């Protein structure tokens, strides 16, 4: 009996850990109005949150916007299932790598979600009415006994409880040999790109059995492979332009008008290496983990291991701004290499006006940089230190000089608590931060006294 | 931490040389451990899920970078480290092999001909096997590049003699059957035998014409390089010396052999080595 108890204890904890792992959020994305927020997790599930609107005429404080700003669960569905590649004898993870919303065209919402291999188009629609009063069927759908039917009636639509239906509309499979890391919807509203480690394909949203390969950096001999594609995105306004980043820290702007296969870049953005700081880890830390066009389409934001950089599309020789996210880790690169943290891929985002950029770090910290002043601030996404509606305190990592209360030493940083995924509302100052299993939503509360998040 | 560009302070004192040496040794030790770590990371990629290609490429690039650097300037320090610090695991054998193959040439010369580089962990393991082969038997073979024989043959005479003595000391069995033939050859230190060593080595280790370091080694070899005394002393100082262990095991497991069976045994040895080193 004692043995059984021990075994059940072991089994139980294994299950608990397994469940937790599947709940790890792997992507976060607002839709184009910001009313909906989608998250994908390692278990292949997508959870959509909807912003609550101020109905029923509740009066809030002066200065508040019309919407209360709270996001509640709108719909949950299983997007991808674990799969198996029989040819290679390898599992295909169901983890959702990216979600991208399509621009709204009708009452329904559409989003693309992808795992390592397959992209799916989902239709999210609401149903709040249902027809009632059929002649031949009763309310449960069973055929009526004809002898009970005495008169004809016209079915009418009656309001019912809101039902959110999510249905797969397209499945774009067999397009990628390597792991898909990015998807991006084109401004033309008809096409999108999907990028894996070595290739970028362009799809039409209506066609699933074909895709165009627009970038291919696979060498003839795989032993000569030294560089992979890490992220890709379409230009927000110009449907012929796309950018992709590489593991060597370069960005390539491609113009699809130039040729069908965009192996030759229109522009190459690369910062020359500083010979003084060269080490064995130089290349790894220069690898770009995320690239985002600004809303204006004029700038690019990139994230590498230690910095976030803003590039002007008109200047290829180097970034116009460089922000140190966690420079104090530079002396720890060896340990971070050993525990694989050096390969963590942090995302970066712009705010709605392109005046602030944000990216994640370790210890549940994330950083925001004001482009005008160049100043950065560190904030924390951690349940125990922030209560609902509390103002976020700024945090600091102690790197020398006078130590303030609340400063965290570099050696006490928790490297398992990484903020990799995040999103910024397209119009307002509302941010969504994914911290492992948890989703934090922070808002800027503008009122007469304080400036919200400081 | 491994910043290559770090400036060293010029203290101007007599200790500078020692300081520099110590720092260089520490740097190369760190570099070696980084190389080992990287190789292990690459090897552990055989998981259920397809490994992350980006990560693998970055690690492979790091390994390549280290190897390039070791080829260019640091390699001889690795040899030094082999004598001073006992390590464990595959890197131990890696280093040991280099010692045997290359000799303390560079340690003595302080920067003589370049060591052929640690080309990749695969290359190293095979290199090691070849060395063992060289020690345990010298079979007549085909394909020994003629040009090698001339250049280095005479240099190995003394080395061959000593090696033969060692062999004889360790085990009689391995020599008895193969004969008198081999013993004689060893004793005489024939060029053919020597050529065989490098012949096998070259066949095993490098694709044709691809290793400038190796050729460079052969090109300016000198008799004074091969001081076997130093080499053997050095070897004995590191406890986990692969080749000698293998000699022992070979002695016990193999009876009298002819050339062909000896070669078959060597293939088996090859296989055993791969398992031990963990390919």
Reported as a single tens digit per residue, the pLDDT across A29-71 is: 999 999 999 999 999 999 999 999 865 444 444 444 455 679 9
Q: Where residue B36 falls among pLDDT bands split at 50, 70, 90? A: very high
Compare A136 and B1 and report the one with higher pLDDT: A136
Which of A304, A430, A310, A288 lies closest to A369, judged by CA?
A310
Please tell me which residue of chain B has the smallest CA distance to A344: B55
pLDDT at A415 over 60: yes
Q: DSSP letters along A251-317, please?
A: EEEEETTT-SSTTS-SEEE-PPP-GGG--TTHHHHHS--EEEE-TTSSEEEEE-SSEEEEEETT--S
Q: Which residues of B touch A85 (CB under 8 A)?
A: 50
In which element (H, E) is residue A49 found? Answer: strand A45-51
Contact B1/A93, CB-based, under 8 Å?
no
pLDDT score at B24? 83
Contact between residue A313 and residue A243 where contact means Cβ atoms under 8 Å apart = no
pLDDT at A233 over 70: yes
Is the Cβ of B55 closer than 8 Å to some Cβ of chain A?
A: yes
B22: Cα separation from own chain's centroid: 24
In this structure, of A114-118, A228-232, B216-220, the range with the lowest mean pLDDT score is: B216-220
pLDDT mean over B147-162: 35
Compare B25 and A55 and report the one with higher pLDDT: B25
Contact between residue A136 and residue A143 where contact means Cβ atoms under 8 Å apart = yes
Q: Which of A16-25, A87-96, A147-156, A185-194 has the highest average model confidence (pLDDT)?
A: A185-194
pLDDT score at A33? 96
Cα distances from A250 to residues A133, A227, A254, B223, in angstroms, run 64, 10, 13, 51
**In terms of C-beta density within 10 A (0-12 exposed, 13-18 middle, 19 or more buried), how is residue A136 classed?**
exposed
Which of A91, A178, A333 lies nearest to residue B48, judging by beta carbons? Answer: A91
Contact A276/B57, CB-based, under 8 Å?
no
Contact between residue A393 and residue A385 where contact means Cβ atoms under 8 Å apart = yes
Q: In whole angstroms, give the CA distance from residue A374 to residue B165.
A: 74
pLDDT score at B215? 54
Beta strands A83-85; A90-92: pairing state: antiparallel
Compare B138 and A205 and report the one with higher pLDDT: A205
Q: Which residues of A touch B2 (CB under 8 A)?
A: 279-281, 334
pLDDT at B151 over 80: no
Q: In whole angstroms, give the CA distance from residue A148 to residue A446.
A: 64
pLDDT at B188 over 50: no
pLDDT score at B8? 57
| Residue to substitute from A285, A286, A337, interface B, most B β-carbons within 10 A | A337
Is the Cβ of B44 closer than 8 Å to some Cβ of chain A?
A: no
The minimum CA-CA distance between A287 and chain B, rounded to whole Å, is 9
Contact B1/A91, CB-based, under 8 Å?
no
Which of A93, A279, A340 lies nearest to residue B4, judging by beta carbons? Answer: A279
pLDDT score at B134? 35
Q: State the complex-level ipTM.
A: 0.87
In this structure, of A168-182, A335-349, B109-123, the range with the lowest mean pLDDT score is: B109-123
Q: Where residue A109 falls among pLDDT bands split at 50, 70, 90? A: very high
Is the Cβ of B45 closer than 8 Å to some Cβ of chain A?
A: no
pLDDT at B231 over 50: no
pLDDT score at A278? 87
Q: Where residue B240 falls among pLDDT bands split at 50, 70, 90? A: very low
Q: How many CB atoms lie within 10 A of CB B95?
A: 22
Compare B244 and A372 and report the one with higher pLDDT: A372
The minimum CA-CA distance between B86 and chain A, rounded to whole Å, is 22
Residues near A1 by Cβ (< 8 Å), separated by ≥ 6?
none
The minimum CA-CA distance between B152 and chain A, rounded to whole Å, is 34
Q: Chain A residues with CB-CB distance to B under 8 A?
A: 85, 88, 90-93, 116, 178-179, 197-198, 225-228, 230, 247, 275-281, 283-284, 287, 331-334, 337-338, 340, 343
Contact between residue A422 and residue A435 where contact means Cβ atoms under 8 Å apart = no
Contact B58/A278, CB-based, under 8 Å?
no
pLDDT mean over A394-402: 88
A131: Cα separation from own chain's centroid: 38
- For residue B230, the number of C-alpha atoms closer than 13 Å in the C-beta half-sphere is 15
Q: Where residue B47 falls among pLDDT bands split at 50, 70, 90? A: low
Sheet holding A119-132, edge to edge: A98-101, A109-114, A119-132, A156-172
User: What does the radius of gyration of chain B's CA atoms come to, in whole angstroms?
Assistant: 20
Which of B49, B54, B65 lies nearest to residue A280, judging by beta carbons? Answer: B65
Q: Where residue A405 falls among pLDDT bands split at 50, 70, 90? A: confident
Which of B1, B49, B60 lies nearest to residue A334, judging by beta carbons? Answer: B1
| pLDDT > 90 in chain B, percent | 8
Average pLDDT, chain B: 53
Contact between residue B42 and residue B48 where contact means Cβ atoms under 8 Å apart = no
| pLDDT > 70 in chain B, percent | 23
pLDDT at A291 over 90: yes
pLDDT score at B257? 44
Q: In whole angstroms, give the CA distance from residue A394 to residue A380.
A: 7
The minimum CA-CA distance between B140 and chain A, rounded to whole Å, is 35
b/e map B124-143, b = 16+ CB within 10 Å: bbbbbbbbbbbbbbbbeeee
For A32-91, the three-class secondary structure string (H helix, E strand, C coil) is CCCCEEEEEECCCEEEEEEECCCCCCCCCCCCCCCCCCCEEEEEEEECCCCEEECCCCEE
Q: Which of A154-163, A280-289, B217-226 has the highest average model confidence (pLDDT)?
A: A280-289
pLDDT score at B217? 53
Contact between residue A454 and residue A377 where contact means Cβ atoms under 8 Å apart = yes
| Residue to substitute from B32, B50, B51, B122, interface A, most A β-carbons within 10 A | B50
The minimum CA-CA distance between B87 and chain A, rounded to whole Å, is 19
Which of B1, B58, B65 lies nearest to residue A287, judging by beta carbons? Answer: B58
In which element (H, E) is residue A246 found? Answer: strand A241-246
Helix, strand, coil share (%) of chain A residues, nearest 5? 10, 40, 50
Cα distances from B136 to residues A300, B129, B164, B178, B263, in angstroms, run 63, 10, 9, 11, 11
Q: Where residue B5 falls among pLDDT bands split at 50, 70, 90? A: low
Query: How many contacts (CB atoms, under 8 Å) link A and B?
Result: 76
What pLDDT, in 10s, does the model give residues B245-254?
444 444 444 4
Contact between residue A298 and residue B49 where contact means Cβ atoms under 8 Å apart = no
Q: Which of B80-84, B151-155, B158-162 has the highest average model confidence (pLDDT)?
A: B80-84
Q: Where residue B177 falls among pLDDT bands split at 50, 70, 90? A: very low
pLDDT at A377 over 90: yes
Q: In whole angstroms, give the CA distance from residue A406 to residue A384.
A: 14
Looking at residue A273, the DSSP 8-state letter turns out to be P
pLDDT at A2 over 90: no
The minimum CA-CA distance between A446 and chain B, rounded to whole Å, is 43
**CA quadruple A49, A53, A56, A57: dihedral, nearest 10:** 150
Compare B180 and B25 and report the one with higher pLDDT: B25
Which of A276, A333, A334 lies nearest to residue B5, judging by beta carbons? Answer: A276
| Residue to substitute from A92, A223, A280, A290, interface B, most B β-carbons within 10 A | A280
In this structure, of A93-97, A112-116, A333-337, B10-14, the range with the lowest mean pLDDT score is: B10-14
Is the Cβ of B3 closer than 8 Å to some Cβ of chain A?
A: yes
Helix, strand, coil share (%) of chain B residues, nearest 5? 70, 0, 30
pLDDT at B23 over 80: yes
Tell which phi-psi region holds residue B167, choosing left (phi > 0), alpha (psi between -120 and 50) or beta. Answer: alpha
pLDDT at B75 over 70: no
Query: What φ, ψ does residue A229 adopt, rounded to 5°?
Result: -85, 130
Please tell me which residue of chain A has the smallest CA distance to B68: A280
Contact between residue A205 and residue A223 where contact means Cβ atoms under 8 Å apart = no
The minimum CA-CA distance between B122 and chain A, rounded to whole Å, is 14
Residues near A448 by Cβ (< 8 Å), separated by ≥ 6?
A63
pLDDT at A13 over 70: no
């Amino acid at each position: 009996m004692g043995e059984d108890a021990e075994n059940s204890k072991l089994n139980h904890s294994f299950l608990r850990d397994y469940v937790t792992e599947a709940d790890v959020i792997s992507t976060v994305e607002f839709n184009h109005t910001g009313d909906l927020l989608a998250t994908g997790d390692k278990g292949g599930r997508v959870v959509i949150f909807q912003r609550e609107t101020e109905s029923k005429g509740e009066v809030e404080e002066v200065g508040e916007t019309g919407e209360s700003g709270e996001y509640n669960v709108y719909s949950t569905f299983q997007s991808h299932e674990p799969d198996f590649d029989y040819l290679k004898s390898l599992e295909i993870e169901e983890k959702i790598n990216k979600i991208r919303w399509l621009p709204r065209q009708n009452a329904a919402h559409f989003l693309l979600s992808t795992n390592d291999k397959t992209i799916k188009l989902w239709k999210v629609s609401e149903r709040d009415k249902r027809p009632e009063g059929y002649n031949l069927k009763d309310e449960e759908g069973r055929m009526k006994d004809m002898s009970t039917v005495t008169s004809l009636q016209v079915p009418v639509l009656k309001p019912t409880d809101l039902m959110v239906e999510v249905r797969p509309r397209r499945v774009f499979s067999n397009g990628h040999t390597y792991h898909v890391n990015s998807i991006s919807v084109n401004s033309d509203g008809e096409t999108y790109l999907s990028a894996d480690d070595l290739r970028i394909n362009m799809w039409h949203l209506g066609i699933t059995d074909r895709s165009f390969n627009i970038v291919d950096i696979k060498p003839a001999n795989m032993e000569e492979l030294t560089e992979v594609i890490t992220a890709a995105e379409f230009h927000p306004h110009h449907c012929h332009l796309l950018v992709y980043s590489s593991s060597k820290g370069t960005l390539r702007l491609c113009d699809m008008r130039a040729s069908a296969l965009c192996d030759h870049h229109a522009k190459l953005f690369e910062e020359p290496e500083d010979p003084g700081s060269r080490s064995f880890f130089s290349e790894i830390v220069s690898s770009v983990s995320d690239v985002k066009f600004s809303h204006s389409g004029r700038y690019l934001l990139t994230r590498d291991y230690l910095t976030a950089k803003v590039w002007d599309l008109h200047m290829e020789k180097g970034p116009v701004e460089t922000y140190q996210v966690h420079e104090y880790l530079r002396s720890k690169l060896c340990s971070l290499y050993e525990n694989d943290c050096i390969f963590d891929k942090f995302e970066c985002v712009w705010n709605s006006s392109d005046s602030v950029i944000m990216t994640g770090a370790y210890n549940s910290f994330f950083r925001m940089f004001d482009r005008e002043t160049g100043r950065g601030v560190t904030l924390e996404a951690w349940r125990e230190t922030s209560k609902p509606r509390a103002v976020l305190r700024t945090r600091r990592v102690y790197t020398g000089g006078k130590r303030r209360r609340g400063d965290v030493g570099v050696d006490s940083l928790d490297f398992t608590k990484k903020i990799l995924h995040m999103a910024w509302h397209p119009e307002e100052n509302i941010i969504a931060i994914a911290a492992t299993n948890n989703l934090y939503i922070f808002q800027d509360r503008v009122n007469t006294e304080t400036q919200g998040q400081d | 931490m491994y910043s290559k560009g770090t400036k060293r302070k010029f203290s101007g004192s007599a200790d500078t040389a020692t300081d520099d040496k110590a720092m260089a040794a520490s740097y190369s030790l760190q570099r070696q451990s980084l190389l080992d770590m990287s190789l292990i990371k690459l090897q552990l990629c055989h998981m259920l899920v397809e490994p992350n290609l980006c990560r693998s490429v970055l690690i492979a690039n790091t390994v390549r970078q280290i190897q390039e650097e070791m080829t260019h300037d640091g390699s001889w320090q690795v040899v030094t480290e082999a004598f001073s610090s006992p390590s464990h695991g595959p890197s131990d054998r890696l280093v040991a092999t280099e010692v045997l193959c290359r000799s303390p040439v560079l340690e003595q010369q302080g920067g003589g001909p370049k060591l052929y580089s640690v080309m990749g962990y695969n290359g190293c393991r095979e290199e090691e096997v070849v060395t063992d082969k060289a020690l345990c038997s010298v079979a007549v073979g085909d394909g020994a590049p003629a040009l090698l024989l001339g250049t280095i043959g005479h240099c190995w005479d003394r080395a061959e003699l000593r090696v033969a003595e060692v062999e004889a000391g360790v085990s009689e069995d391995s020599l008895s059957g193969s004969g008198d033939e081999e013993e004689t050859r060893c004793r005489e230190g024939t060029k053919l035998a020597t050529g065989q060593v490098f012949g096998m080595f070259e066949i095993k280790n490098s694709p044709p014409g691809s290793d400038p370091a190796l050729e460079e080694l052969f090109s300016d070899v000198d008799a004074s390089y091969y001081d076997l005394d130093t080499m053997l002393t050095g070897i004995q100082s590191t406890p986990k010396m692969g080749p000698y262990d293998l000699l022992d095991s070979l002695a016990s497991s193999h009876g009298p052999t002819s050339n062909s069976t000896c070669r078959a045994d060597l293939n088996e040895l090859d296989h055993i080595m791969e398992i031990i080193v963990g390919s």
